[in-house]
Structure 1
Amino acid sequence: MEQIIRGGLGIAALVALAVLFSGNRRAIRWKPVGYGLLLNVLFAFLVLRTAPGRAFFEQIGGGLAKIIIYASEGTRFVFGPLYTGFTQVENFSGWPYAFVLDALIPIVFFAALIKVLYYYRIMQRIVGGMAGLFTRLFGISSVEAVVTASNVFLGQTQAPLTVAPYIRSMSESQLFLTMTGGMATVGSGLLIAYAGMGARIEYVLAASIMAAPAAIVFAKLLEPETDLRGDQETAPIDEEHGVNVLDAVARGAMEGWKAVVGVTVMLLAFISLIHLLDGVIAAGSGERANLEGILQVVFAPAAWIVGVPAADVGAFARLVGAKTAFNEVIGFSALPAETLSPKGLMLACFAMTGFANFSSIAIQIGTLGEFAPERRSEVARLGLRALFAATLANLLNAAIAGMFFSG
Structure 2
Amino acid sequence: MAELKGVKHFNEVSDTDAGDPSNYASVYTINDNSNFSPSNGYGEENCGFVPDEMELKHRKINGENRPIPEDSEEEETELTGFAVYMDIFQTGLHEFYKGWRTVIWTMIYSLLTLAYFAYFGYAMYYEFGEEGSIRLLIVTILATIFVMYQLIAKHCTIPVSSSCEGQKANKVGIWFHRSMIIALSLFIVIYVIVAIAIESPRNLISAAGILFYVLVFYIFSKHPSRVNWRPVFWGLALQFIFALMILRWDVGYRIFEWLGDRVQEFLAHTDKGSEFLFGKNTYEHHFFAFKVLPVIIFFSSMMSVLYYLGVMQLIIRNLARFMAWVMETSPAESLNAAGNIFIGQSEAPLMIRPFLNDMTNSELHAVLTGGFATIAGSVMAAYILMDVPANHLLSASVMSAPAALAMSKLFYPETKKSKSRAEDVYNMEKTGERNIIEAASNGASVSIKLVANIAVNLIAFIAILGFVNATLAWMGRRVGILNPELSFELICSYIFWPLSFLMGVDTDDCRKVAKLIGIKTFINEFVAYSVLGEYIHNTVNFTRYINNETGTLTTGRWSAINDDDILLHDLNATLVGGIITDRSKVITTYALCGFSNISSIGIMLGALGALAPNRKSDLTKIVVRAMIAGNVACFMTACIAGLLYEGKL
Q: State the TM-score, normalized to the length of structure 1.
A: 0.94
Give the aligned partner of residue 313 of structure 1. Answer: 510
- Indicate conservation of the 8 Å contact 1:3/1:402, yes or no: no
Other-structure match for 2:467: 276
Counterpart position of 1:141: 330
Residue 56 of structure 1 corresponds to 255
Q: Distance in 2 between matches of 1:286 and 1:227?
A: 56
CA contact (8 A) 1:71 1:109 kept: yes
Q: Is the 8 A contact 1:162 1:238 kept in 2?
A: no
**Contact conserved, 2:203 with 2:504, CA < 8 A, in 1?**
no
Deviation, structure 1 residue 268: 1.2
Match of 2:209 in 1: 10
1:280 Cα offset (Å): 2.1
1:201-221: CA deviation from partner (whole Å, max 9, x where unpaired): 111111111010000011001
Q: How does 1:3-402 map to 2 (within 5 A)?
A: 3-81=202-280, 83-84=282-283, 86=285, 98-232=287-421, 233-235=424-426, 237-238=428-429, 240-286=431-477, 288=481, 289-338=486-535, 339-402=579-642
- Partner amino acid for 1:384? V
Structure 1 residue 154: Cα displacement: 0.9
Q: Given residue 389 of structure 1, which amino acid in structure 2 is its aligned partner?
A: A
- Say if 1:40 and 1:213, in contact at 8 Å, map to a contact too: yes
Q: Give the match's secondary structure for 1:285.
A: helix
CA shift, 1:286, in A, is 3.2
Q: Against the structure 1 CA distance between its residues 314 and 142, is the aligned structure 2 distance closer, same or farther, given a 3 Å change threshold?
A: same
Give 1:103 deviation, angstroms.
Answer: 1.6
Asked whether the equivalents of residues 177 and 219 of structure 1 are also in contact (C-alpha less than 8 Å), the reply is: yes
Q: Work out the CA distance in 1 between the residues paired with 2:242 and 2:473.
A: 44
Shift of 1:281: 2.1
Distance in 1 between residues matched to 2:281 and 2:599, nearest whole Å: 31
Partner letter of residue 314 of structure 1? R
SS in structure 1 at match of 2:342: helix
Q: CA deviation at 1:378?
A: 1.9
CA deviations 1:300-344 (Å, max 9, x no partner) are: 111011000011111111111101111000001111333110001
Q: For residues 13-33 of structure 1, what are the alpha-carbon distances to aligned partners after superposition, in whole Å with 9 as ceiling and x for unaligned?
A: 111111121001000011221
SS of the residue 1:225 aligns to: coil
Report if aligned partners of 1:111, 1:252 keep a CA contact under 8 Å in 2.
Answer: yes
2:417 is paired with a residue whose SS is coil
Residue type at the aligned position of 1:251: N
Based on CA coordinates, which of the two structures has the bigger radius of gyration? 2
Amino acid corresponding to residue 234 of structure 1 in structure 2: V
Stretch of structure 1 that moved more, 97-106 or 336-345: 97-106
Amino acid at match of 1:24: H
Amino acid at match of 1:128: R
Contact 1:107/1:257, CA 8 A, preserved across alignment: no
Offset at 1:250? 0.4
What do the CA deviations read for 1:377-404 (whole angstroms, capped 9, x no partner)? 2212212111110010000000101112
What residue identity is the alignment partner of 1:349?
T
Deviation at 1:85, TM superposition (A): 6.5
Task: Name stretches of at least 5 consecutive residues in structure 2 with no aligned partner.
Answer: 1-196, 536-578
Structure 1: state its 5+ residue gaps. Answer: 87-96
Which residue is 1:89 aligned to? none
**Post-superposition CA distance 1:25-61 (Å, at most 9, x none):** 0000112211111111010000111111111111110
One-letter amino acid matched to 2:454: V
Percent identity, please: 31
**TM-fit CA distance, 1:235:** 2.4
Higher helix share: 1
Distance 1:375 1:84 in 2: 46
Secondary structure of the structure 1 residue equivalent to 2:496: helix
After superposition, the C-alpha distances for 1:42-95 in whole angstroms (9 at most, x for unaligned) are: 100001111111111111101111012111111111111574474xxxxxxxxx
Distance verdict in 2 for CA 1:242–1:16, change over 3 Å: same
- Partner Cα distance (2:495, 2:259) in 1: 35
Deviates more, 1:213-222 or 1:249-258: 249-258
Flag as ranges the 4+ runs of structure 1 deviating above 6 A.
Answer: none
C-alpha displacement of 1:239: 5.4
CA distance in 2, matches of 1:313, 1:155: 30
SS state of the match for residue 286, structure 1? helix
The alpha-carbon deviation at position 147 of structure 1 amounts to 0.8
Once the two structures are TM-superposed, the CA of residue 282 in structure 1 deviates from its matched residue by 2.3
| Post-superposition offset of 1:179 | 0.2
With 185-194 and 229-238 compared, the bigger mean Cα shift is at: 229-238
Q: Secondary structure at the match of 2:315?
A: helix
Is the Cα–Cα contact under 8 Å of residues 308 and 430 in structure 2 kept in the other structure? no
Identify which of structures 1 and 2 has the higher relative contact order when contacts are C-alpha pairs closer than 8 Å and 6+ apart: 1
